[in-house]
Amino acid sequence: MKILTRSLLILLILGGLIYFLVSRLQVEVPVAQAVTGTAVNAVTGTIKVVPSAEIRLKAEIKGRVVEVSAKLGKKFKKGEVLFVLDSTDLEIDLAMKKVQLEAGKERAQAGYTQELDIANLEAEILKISQMQEFGQSSASELERRQRELAKLEIWLEREKINQAETINLLEFQIKQLQGQIQKSRIVAPFNGLVSEILVIPGDIIFAGTPVGRLISHERIVHLTLSEEDFENVQKGLVAVMRFASYPNQTIEGEVTFLAPTADPEQKNRLVFLKTDAPPEMLVTGLTGEAVLIKDQREGATIIPRRSLIGSQVHVVADDRIEIREVRSGYIGLNKAEILEGLEPGEWVALENQSFLRDGQKVRPTALQDQEIN
């Protein structure tokens, strides 16, 4: 009896050991179920916030800086004076030119003494002509007087031309000085804020010297995509953005413009996005990532992207592996669409597919959360 009991105990231990070993030989495989959902054709890229306009403000004339009203981060309006150059010499020169112009106009209005000489000479010629009819004057005397009159008229005409030229030149110089005085007050060309100040009062600067950097209030987002991801990208597409400074918040943007050229060295191309995010959130230089949605298809068979290996999936049915060829459709960040070869409700392996063989016995472990993210 004791021998029988001992034999049964040994058999039970051996059976348990065999079951344990067999169960351990079956590989545990994480699986997910194919579902019906929305197939998304999307690509990813890096993003950067930039101002819609940015310039290095430059002086247009030489001068000494006497005032800097620009402040870092200060907002300004178009036409607001940000820097002032000393215009004292220009204003003195302008005042002198105005005096000269006024005097020139008064002289022109007062007339010329030669006009009286011309009138007297004309009267004298008329008298000589009358005397010549009665033989009291010679023809040579008349001709001499007529030549004198012609010379005097030519001289007077030239004098008037010179006087008009002087007046016009003074008017031009006055406008030029007024323009230079206006340029001594360096103003903002658009609404925005100051991002950099490059001069201080007392600096002597030349025409073309940068005095500051300005950026506009309006912001745009640059999305950088690789060349192979650029196919079918067009205006109006929606991008979902996530900035590094706001990791738990997503912002939508819309494609407004495609860069006309690509970067041959980096093998990428820019897409311009606009967004309704508040300006205080879109700090210039902010970076992050974005998903650009090219197209969507409803009612598709969807599996996790990591379960698709090339054109194959590892289907798990009755605890066995079946390596199956499929035809994929849209491939998103985390999802893959299957057009042929797999039906909703079937289970697919998620990891270590390279170690799985067709027909292999496995222990499938379903995801706790069946939703495919």
What residue ranges do the domains of the chain occupy? 26-40+298-366, 43-53+216-296, 59-86+188-213, 87-183
How many residues are listed for the chain in this entry? 373
pLDDT above 60 for 92: yes
CA distance 305 to 290: 18
In this structure, CATH architecture of domain 26-40+298-366: Beta Barrel (2.40)
Q: Is the separation of the CB atoms in 283 and 49 below 8 Å?
A: yes
Pick the closest to residue 237 from 32, 42, 7, 18 (CA basis).
42
pLDDT above 50 for 269: yes
Q: Do domains 26-40+298-366 and 43-53+216-296 have the same CATH topology?
A: no
- Report which secondary-structure segment, H or E, holds 9: helix 2-25
Whole-number pLDDT of residue 18:
47
pLDDT above 80 for 37: yes
Residue 332's contacts (CB-CB under 8 Å, 6 or more residues apart) are 39, 40, 41, 42, 305
Please provide the average confidence, as pLDDT, over all residues in the chain: 87
Beta bridge partners of 84: 67, 185
pLDDT single digits (tens) 39-79: 888 888 999 999 988 999 999 999 999 999 999 988 899 99
DSSP-derived pairing of the beta strands 27-33 and 362-366:
parallel
DSSP-derived pairing of the beta strands 251-263 and 210-216:
unpaired
CA distance 346 to 179: 79
Q: Is the separation of the CB atoms in 316 and 348 below 8 Å?
A: yes
Q: What percent of the chain has pLDDT over 90?
A: 59
DSSP 309: B
Provide the CATH topology of domain 43-53+216-296: Elongation Factor Tu (Ef-tu); domain 3 (2.40.30)
Whole-number pLDDT of residue 373:
45
pLDDT single digits (tens) 133-192: 776 767 777 788 888 888 888 888 888 888 989 999 999 999 999 999 999 999 999 999
pLDDT above 60 for 369: no
CA distance 171 to 140: 47
pLDDT single digits (tens) 205-235: 999 999 999 999 888 999 999 998 888 899 9
What secondary structure, in 3-state letters, does 193-224 show? EEEEECCCCCCEECCCCEEEEEEECCEEEEEE
* Edge-to-edge strands, sheet with 54-58: 54-58, 210-216, 192-197, 75-76
DSSP-derived pairing of the beta strands 335-340 and 35-51:
unpaired
pLDDT above 90 for 98: yes
Give me the half-sphere count of Cα atoms (radius 13 Å) on the Cβ side of residue 92.
Answer: 3
Provide the CATH topology of domain 59-86+188-213: OB fold (Dihydrolipoamide Acetyltransferase, E2P) (2.40.50)
Task: List helix spans (H) across 184-296.
Answer: none
Render 93-119 in DSSP notation, one character per residue: HHHHHHHHHHHHHHHHHH--HHHHHHH
Whole-number pLDDT of residue 252:
93
CA distance 64 to 56: 19
Reading the block at residue 92, the tokens are: 């003195």
Q: Which residue has the tokens 């379960």?
A: 307
Residue 275's contacts (CB-CB under 8 Å, 6 or more residues apart) are 221, 241, 251, 252, 253, 254, 282
Whole-number pLDDT of residue 25:
55
pLDDT above 60 for 20: no
